[in-house]
Amino acid sequence: MSADHKKKMLAPADVLGAEPVWPKDPREWEKIVGDNEVVYEDRHVVVFADPVDEEHESEREPGEVRVTLLSKKPGRESLMDLGVADETLNAAILHGIQQAAYQLGLEKKGFEVRAHIYPPLQHRPEVTFKIRSGKAPKKSATSL
């Protein structure tokens, strides 16, 4: 394929019209994890029991498990910043999700993985995945 026919890579500013404006400042992953229970950790990611829910998330049901996976790699603000050159981090994210699920026994009852990407859903410039398992929130008649 000639250089004339190659597709230009899109950047966040191309999609959003400007660089993302983060409602909260970035923090070191150690400060985010704090004293919370670490479920899984390697040199690329950490998965921890996250007691703080985002305001747009549903209330926790009794017995529901919620943990958060954070990338330790600086300079990656969002899932949209990961590319093929980040194959080690991409594999570590998948491995971290799997290992956390095994540690918590989630493979026996099922779980979901969510990534909040760009404001207003993503509050800080960090690659983050939310893992949730347990009783799903009931849907109201208006949300169907």
Place of tokens 């290992």: 99
**Domains in the chain, ordered, with CATH?**
17-52+61-133 (3.30.428.10)
Residue 66, SS3? strand
Q: Give the pLDDT confidence of 95-131 residue by residue, as tens digits.
A: 999 999 999 999 999 999 999 888 888 888 889 999 9
Q: Phi-psi region for residue 117, left (φ > 0), alpha (ψ -120 to 50) or beta?
A: beta
Average pLDDT of the segment spanning 51-76: 86
What is this structure's pTM?
Answer: 0.76
10 Å CB burial of residue 49 (0-12, 13-18, 19+) is middle
Q: Give the pLDDT confidence of 65-93 residue by residue, as tens digits.
A: 999 999 999 888 889 889 899 999 999 99
| Type of residue found at 76 | R
What is the spatial distance between Cα 26 and Cα 58, in angstroms, rounded to a whole number?
24
Q: Which residues, including other chains, have CB under 8 Å from residue 71's CB and lie 6 or more apart?
A: 29, 44, 45, 89, 93, 126, 127, 128
